[in-house]
């Protein structure tokens, strides 16, 4: 019987290359960019069952409840490792490898980015089978995508001698090229470096130790002394903090003599720009793509993504238009650096639209502000079955709750009461209160706050199921 | 003493050249395109006091409460004539002239479009003084704007022999020219035809009668038999309907021998396109204009208008971007006909965004839908002091009202109750109810509707102050 592969899904990154859809609090890997599932969810489903063991997910602590929610949506269970701070991909993969070794000392790990698109799952899994043989023979195998065009946004791999089946040794990793070099690379049979890897956990840690033994020691200690809260594996912060921030490429891949590459044709993309989203999208005869409601008049090769508003384009070509409730982007996308400069500017003049979404995810569900006045705010709140907000009070606001779906169990000071659909309850200023969903369906309610100060920081938490302060 | 001029403000038109800001229910003349006042309000203020008598406003019946609201905002009183249907500018001006004659048989009328921008009010008033002399001598005086460029979007006037002061006879009206002809016209001293006129009421009607006596008779009857409801003058529908739809240019100006033109330099624009809005706007060093929050990166000569969302432009030139809550326009505006084609397309595929705004104006105030679910809707409702909604009931929905500002007097079946800020009241399904604002400040409340059907047509009106069915 084949050795099972342990998937290690890395989803702790926060990019703004897909702003305004992607933001600090909910980055690209958690967004349903194509259809209804996120790339994080698609990645998990790609390596579910068959060859693959229970996955390990490693993420930033701030994304922990989003990860749980997205796992639950697709019915996949995983061990979720929390990084207390970002240390780049080297320590993340080392932590995953060390954790996998606890499960099986001879574990073979498949480290995958959570924000890539792979249209051809079968081709990818076939490549995993090839890679598994080479990994079993002591190789750190990277997935090399057969180029579809002379891309300048990816690094390349020059494949060397044959290793096992189609797997080749890595002769050389090369950086992102200019257009001329890229054409040379493609003609010479180079492969795109996808940044996904398969390796025996023990081998990866050994090779990493040769370069930075102290960081491997630190990461191993962070795993050995990890806490367990609410089912999460919380890496020990002091130890993890002392590991050097470095990418797995610099820490291991570009230095090890064990690097190998398995060629794969799976339609892969790292979705690193809005242009890439357009390339991956279905388009009309004029080359226009629409995610959401869009109308095109005399326009070509445009890409519209909209949450809610209808977007109408007239007389324009090669534009990306992204409309969210609080921010609209219109960009030529002639080079991806333009958006980077724009977001840098926004971080100074309007930081909120780069960091937060209007819809805020919480461990118990979510809320969204739908109206703001001088002395009032209206929120739509959704509480999952079994979800319970903290026991809390506010100094400066009273709240009216109207249940529009499901039922709420509400505590106000000494009394506990069930509020049903089409019923309301009033929380006076200063009252100690709590809301929970005791039912089997989502609870939806409208909250109307009134008062002189309505900031999120006027919450005094007295008790919290989710250990938030 | 000078004879006072009676301003006649024509504000019944509905254009979509400024979509999505301008829509059928609230067209351009009622929008605060520049600053806080609408062009309708600016037009009224321009001809207020001094030379000018109490204004007459002629509008479509569907805009009557918007007209009242905007008059009240600027503290100007007017006679408001309601057209029961659109019949173009000929019958509208004839109706205004006939109504003015009731006030004074020798009335001099100044007919003004409500959707033009005139930066230099003083120059315009000075031209009125000049025009008044010529009108007193039996002329129908049109305002000819000295061209600032060889515009192709305006008709031109070739001025003839001197009449009085700077006023000249009209040698010829000419249609919108192509670019070459426009340059010729400008070089030959032609003037832009602004579509604003001054005339003795009796003379205009006489000249109109020579062309279409039946229509003048019909309009005169519509004025003579007008109804008076809630302070409006409602033109008698059957008579008014029988007048031919025709512009004042075709009905009178291009046929009369009495046409004269007063040259004026007042920075005039008919704001007939988003490009015109850009031309009239303040711009940064890169030529970008922003109405609302906009951020520009590597972009030039763009024009952003946004209600709420931040709009960020990157790497684009010469674009107009207009973001409303429910529709976003991105257009090259290389020719204004492009937007016309787009709106025509939208009328088929998404008519709602061409007709309605999310904020709906009512005689008692306004409401806006702020959240829609399967079985609930949330509205923000504003009721003016003294405003009172109809006595009504709903078959399919219950309502929760939470007052967030001011006080509401609420009738529910047999009981009447005052609901203060931070209080709420529940209207059960089927209950006969009414809301009014008995106070001196605006009443603001949040309405949460729950039920299986939430359409606006589930209102059974039992009694209505504003005579709506």
Q: How far apart are CA B401 and CA B144, in angstroms?
A: 54
DSSP assignment, residue B269?
B
Question: Which are the contacts of B452, defined by CB distance < 8 A and separation ≥ 6?
Answer: B375, B396
Asked if residue A212 lies in contact with residue A244, where contact means CB atoms within 8 angstroms, the answer is yes
Q: Which residues of A touch B376 (CB under 8 A)?
A: 404-405, 444, 446
* B1 pLDDT higher than 50: no
Here the tokens at position A11 are 């989803």
Instruction: State the angle between helix axes of B89-103 and B201-224 in degrees (0 to 180), rounded to the nearest 10.
Output: 90
Q: Which residues of B touch A373 (CB under 8 A)?
A: 380, 404-405, 444
Question: B319 and A316 in contact by Cβ < 8 A?
Answer: yes
At residue B285, the pLDDT reads 97
Question: B331 and A313 in contact by Cβ < 8 A?
Answer: yes
At residue A1, the pLDDT reads 46
Domain ranges of chain A: 5-264, 283-353, 359-463
H/E run at residue B99: helix B89-103
Binning pLDDT at 50, 70 and 90, where does residue B16 land? confident
Distance from CA of B422 to the nearest CA of A (A): 6
Q: How far apart are CA B231 and CA B213, in angstroms?
A: 30
Closest CA to A309 of B307, B303, B448, B375: B307
Q: Which residues of B touch A400 (CB under 8 A)?
A: 400, 402, 424
Q: How far apart are CA A29 and CA A19, in angstroms?
A: 13
- Considering only CB atoms, B375 lies closest to which of A312, A316, A404, namely A404
Closest CA to B330 of A61, A309, A228: A309
Cis bond before residue A191 (omega within 30° of 0): no
Here the tokens at position B232 are 């409006």
- Considering only CB atoms, B309 lies closest to which of A316, A328, A335, namely A328
**Average pLDDT of the residues in B424-445:** 96
Binning pLDDT at 50, 70 and 90, where does residue B357 land? confident
Here the tokens at position B155 are 């008709």
Maximum distance among all Cα pairs of chain B, rounded to whole angstroms: 76
Strands A259-264, A294-297: pairing kind: unpaired
Asked if residue B262 lies in contact with residue B145, where contact means CB atoms within 8 angstroms, the answer is no
Question: B341 and A298 in contact by Cβ < 8 A?
Answer: yes
Best probe of the B interface among A312, A345, A398, by most B CBs < 10 A, is A312
- Considering only CB atoms, A400 lies closest to which of B315, B332, B402, namely B402
Question: A444 and B298 in contact by Cβ < 8 A?
Answer: no
* Superfamily of chain region A5-264: Spore Coat Polysaccharide Biosynthesis Protein SpsA; Chain A (3.90.550.10)
Best probe of the A interface among B312, B324, B358, B366, by most A CBs < 10 A, is B312
Q: Which residues of A touch B328 (CB under 8 A)?
A: 306, 309-312, 321, 323, 328
At residue B2, the pLDDT reads 59
Per-residue b or e along B22-46, where b marks 16 or more CB atoms closer than 10 Å to that residue's CB: bbbebbbbbbebbeebbbbbbbbeb
Using only C-alpha atoms, chain A has a radius of gyration, in whole angstroms, of 24
- Considering only CB atoms, B326 lies closest to which of A310, A315, A404, namely A310
Q: Which residues of A touch B330 (CB under 8 A)?
A: 311-314, 316, 319, 321, 330
At residue B469, the pLDDT reads 60
Asked if residue A82 lies in contact with residue A96, where contact means CB atoms within 8 angstroms, the answer is no
Closest CA to B461 of B389, B396, B387, B392: B392
Is A293 in a helix, a strand, or coil? Answer: coil
Instruction: State the angle between helix axes of A64-74 and A39-46 in degrees (0 to 180), rounded to the nearest 10.
Output: 50
Q: Do domains B5-264 and B359-463 have the same CATH topology?
A: no
Cis bond before residue B20 (omega within 30° of 0): yes
Residue A142, beta-bridge partner list: A197, A261
**Phi, psi (5° rounding) for residue B223?**
-75, -45
> Which of A151-165, B326-340, B415-429, B435-449 shows the lowest mean pLDDT across its residues?
B326-340
Distance from CA of B448 to the nearest CA of A (A): 8
At residue B135, the pLDDT reads 96
Looking up tokens 């315009």, which residue turns up? B124
Q: How far apart are CA A2 and CA A133, in angstroms?
A: 10
Tallying the residues shown for chain A, one arrives at 469
At residue A188, the pLDDT reads 97
Question: Which are the contacts of B280, defined by CB distance < 8 A and separation ≥ 6?
Answer: B34, B117, B119, B269, B271
Here the tokens at position B323 are 């973001």
pLDDT per residue as tens digits for the range B278-324? 999 999 999 999 999 999 999 999 999 999 899 999 999 999 999 99
Could you give the angle at the alpha carbon of B261 between the alpha carbons of B255 and B265, nearest 5°?
145
Using only C-alpha atoms, chain B has a radius of gyration, in whole angstroms, of 24
Q: How far apart are CA A206 and CA B96, in angstroms?
A: 93
H/E run at residue B183: helix B179-187
Asked if residue A354 lies in contact with residue A347, where contact means CB atoms within 8 angstroms, the answer is yes
Which residue in chain B is spatially nearest to A325 when comparing CA positions?
B309
Distance from CA of A325 to the nearest CA of B (A): 6
Q: How far apart are CA A150 and CA A204, in angstroms?
A: 31
Q: How far apart are CA B293 and CA B298, in angstroms?
A: 17
Distance from CA of A328 to the nearest CA of B (A): 5
Here the tokens at position A269 are 């993309």
Best probe of the B interface among A302, A446, A451, by most B CBs < 10 A, is A446
**Phi, psi (5° rounding) for residue B378?**
-115, 130
Is B256 in a helix, a strand, or coil? Answer: coil
From first to last of its 469 residues, chain A has per-residue pLDDT tens of: 457 899 999 999 888 889 999 998 899 999 998 889 999 999 999 999 899 999 999 999 989 989 998 999 999 999 999 999 999 999 999 999 999 999 999 999 999 999 999 999 999 999 999 999 999 999 999 999 999 999 999 999 999 999 999 999 999 999 999 999 999 999 999 999 999 999 999 999 999 999 999 999 999 999 999 999 888 999 999 999 999 999 999 999 999 999 999 999 989 999 999 999 999 999 999 999 999 999 999 999 999 999 989 999 999 999 999 999 999 999 997 777 899 999 999 999 999 899 888 888 888 999 998 998 889 999 999 999 999 999 999 999 999 999 999 999 999 999 999 999 999 999 999 999 999 999 999 999 999 999 989 888 899 999 888 877 6
Q: Which residues of B touch A323 (CB under 8 A)?
A: 309, 323, 328
Burial class (CB in 10 A: 0-12, 13-18, 19+), B136: middle
Q: What ranges in A47-198 are assigned the alpha helix state H? A: 64-74, 89-103, 121-136, 179-187
- Residue A390 burial (CB count, 10 A): 21
Here the tokens at position B69 are 């609201």
Distance from CA of A422 to the nearest CA of B (A): 6
Tally the C-alpha atoms within 13 A of residue A412's C-alpha that lie toward its C-beta. 17
- Reported ipTM: 0.90
Here the tokens at position A280 are 């991956």
- Considering only CB atoms, A450 lies closest to which of B326, B339, B421, namely B421
Residue A434, beta-bridge partner list: A411
- Considering only CB atoms, A342 lies closest to which of B314, B370, B402, namely B314
DSSP assignment, residue B34?
B
Q: Which residues of A touch B311 (CB under 8 A)?
A: 327-328, 330
Closest CA to B445 of B371, B362, B391, B368: B368
Cis bond before residue A20 (omega within 30° of 0): yes
Q: How far apart are CA A165 and CA B212, in angstroms?
A: 93
Best probe of the B interface among A310, A352, A374, A443, by most B CBs < 10 A, is A310
Asked if residue B87 lies in contact with residue B93, where contact means CB atoms within 8 angstroms, the answer is no
Question: Which are the contacts of B112, defined by CB distance < 8 A and separation ≥ 6?
Answer: B7, B8, B9, B10, B43, B47, B196
Question: B339 and A314 in contact by Cβ < 8 A?
Answer: yes
pLDDT per residue as tens digits for the range B196-255? 999 999 999 999 999 999 999 999 999 999 999 888 999 999 999 999 999 999 999 999
Specify the CATH number for A359-463; select among 3.30.360.10, 3.40.50.2000, 3.40.50.300, 2.60.120.10. Answer: 2.60.120.10
The dihedral over CA atoms of B119, B125, B126, B132, expressed in degrees to the nearest 10, equals 140
H/E run at residue A8: strand A5-10
Distance from CA of B436 to the nearest CA of A (A): 20
Q: How far apart are CA B373 and CA B10, in angstroms?
A: 41
Q: How far apart are CA A43 and CA B273, in angstroms?
A: 48
Question: B297 and A450 in contact by Cβ < 8 A?
Answer: no
* B341 pLDDT higher than 90: yes
Q: How far apart are CA A277 and CA A51, in angstroms?
A: 30
């Amino acid at each position: 019987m084949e050795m099972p592969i342990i998937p290690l899904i890395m989803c702790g990154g926060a990019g703004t290359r897909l702003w305004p859809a992607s933001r600090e609090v909910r980055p690209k890997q958690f967004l349903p960019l194509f259809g209804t599932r996120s790339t994080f969810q698609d990645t998990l489903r790609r390596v579910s069952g068959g060859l693959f063991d229970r996955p390990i997910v490693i993420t930033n602590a701030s994304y922990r409840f989003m990860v749980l929610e997205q796992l639950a949506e697709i019915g996949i269970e995983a061990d979720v490792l929390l990084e207390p701070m970002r240390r780049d991909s080297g320590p993340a993969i080392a932590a995953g490898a060390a954790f996998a070794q606890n499960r099986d000392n001879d574990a073979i790990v498949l480290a995958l980015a959570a924000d890539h698109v792979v249209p051809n799952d079968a081709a990818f899994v076939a490549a995993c089978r090839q890679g598994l043989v080479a990994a079993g023979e002591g190789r750190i195998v990277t997935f090399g995508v057969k180029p579809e065009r002379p891309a300048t946004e990816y690094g390349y791999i020059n494949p060397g001698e044959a290793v096992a089946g189609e797997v080749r040794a890595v002769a050389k990793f090369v950086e992102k090229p200019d257009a001329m070099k890229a054409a040379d690379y493609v003609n010479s049979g180079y492969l795109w470096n996808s940044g996904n890897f398969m390796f025996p956990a023990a081998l990866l840690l050994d090779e990493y130790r040769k370069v930075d033994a102290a960081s491997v020691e630190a990461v191993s200690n962070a795993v050995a002394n990890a806490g367990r809260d609410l089912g999460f594996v919380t890496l020990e912060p002091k130890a993890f903090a002392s590991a050097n921030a470095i990418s797995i490429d610099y820490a291991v891949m570009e230095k090890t003599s064990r690097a190998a590459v398995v060629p794969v044709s799976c339609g892969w993309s790292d979705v690193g720009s809005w242009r890439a989203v357009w390339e991956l999208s279905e388009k009309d005869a004029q080359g226009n793509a629409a995610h959401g409601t869009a109308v095109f008049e005399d326009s070509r090769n445009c890409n519209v993504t909209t949450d809610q508003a209808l977007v109408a384009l007239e007389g324009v070509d090669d534009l990306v238009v992204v409309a969210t409730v609080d921010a609209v982007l219109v960009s030529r996308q002639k080079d991806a650096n333009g958006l980077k400069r724009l977001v840098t500017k926004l971080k100074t003049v309007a930081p909120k639209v780069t960091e937060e979404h209007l819809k805020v995810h919480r461990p118990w569900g979510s809320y969204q502000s739908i109206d703001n006045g001088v002395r009032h705010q209206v929120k739509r709140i959704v509480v999952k079955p079994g979800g319970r907000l903290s026991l809390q009070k506010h100094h400066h606001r009273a709240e009216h709750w109207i249940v529009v779906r499901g039922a709420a169990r509400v505590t106000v000071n000494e009394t506990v009461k069930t509020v049903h659909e089409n019923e309301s309850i009033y929380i006076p200023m200063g009252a100690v209160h709590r809301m929970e969903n005791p039912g089997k369906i989502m609870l939806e309610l409208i909250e109307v706050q009134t008062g002189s100060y309505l900031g999120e920081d006027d919450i005094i938490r007295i008790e919290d199921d989710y250990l938030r302060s």
